[in-house]
Amino acid sequence: MVHRLLQQVTFWTALLSLDQELAAKARQAGCSCGGVLHRADFLRKPRGGPPDLPAEYCYRFSFCCNREDCRKRVTPPSVRFLDRKVYLHAVIILVAALRQGPTPRRVRELSKLFGADRRTIVRWQIFWKEQFPQTAFWKVTRGFLLPAVDAASLPLELLRRFLFGHDSDPTSGWKKLLLFLSPITVTGGLKS
Ligand SMILES: [Zn+2]
């Protein structure tokens, strides 16, 4: 059962470490003005995961430049959060993928598993069908995926590509997929 993994805290802890690494890298790079970055996280109330997520899941890591004449905000890419969406990114991908294929999961069943209502699930399907294929990110990166991925098969085909061959440890495939998609999680990342 492909959704079981997302109900395990260990999966989300692994993603948290990855976000911590991405945040550390951004902090080390500092502000483009040469200033030092200080923590200035955004509060989040993430949905779709298990009830006992690590406390850090209440924060989307972000920084602010310490120079008074700059104060620029730097928000590193994330493998947990997508833009300002409240549901966790992996949930948005998985639920949309489970609605595809020859025997799509019923909306009612997915609502029960992940707590998202029908309208939200339909929004995610529209996001993958209409918004994501139009992003500059996809237009560039689709060229790296061989054989080519048909936009109509998103996001199911991405899951297949990244998780295939990782059957014994799908977490590593998920990490690769979420890292691959992480550029879309920053401000302007979904620009077309
Ligand atoms: Zn600065």
Helix H or strand E segment including 58? none
Q: Residue 31 and residue 47: Cα distance in Å, rounded?
A: 31
CB 137 within 8 A of CB 180: no
Tens digits of residue pLDDT in 6-50: 999 999 999 999 999 999 999 999 999 999 999 999 999 999 999
Give the model's confidence band at 161: pLDDT under 50 very low, under 70 low, under 90 confident, else very high: very high
Measured in Å, residue 95 CA sits from the centre of ligand 1 at: 39
pLDDT for position 39? 97
Among 53-57, 146-150, 163-167, 175-179, the least confident range: 163-167
Tens digits of residue pLDDT in 61-73: 999 999 999 999 9
Residues 6+ apart with CB under 8 A from 46: 53, 57, 58, 80, 81, 86, 87, 88
Give the model's confidence band at 101: pLDDT under 50 very low, under 70 low, under 90 confident, else very high: confident
pLDDT for position 167? 65
Percent residues over pLDDT 90 in the chain: 90
Measured in Å, residue 76 CA sits from the centre of ligand 1 at: 15
pLDDT for position 102? 87
Q: Which residues surround ligand 1, an ion (CB under 5 A)?
A: 31, 33, 35, 65, 67, 70, 72
- Other CB atoms within 10 A of residue 187 CB: 11
Identify any residues that bridge with 184 across adjacent strands, giving them in sequence order. none
How far apart, in Å, do the first and last CA atoms of the chain sit? 35
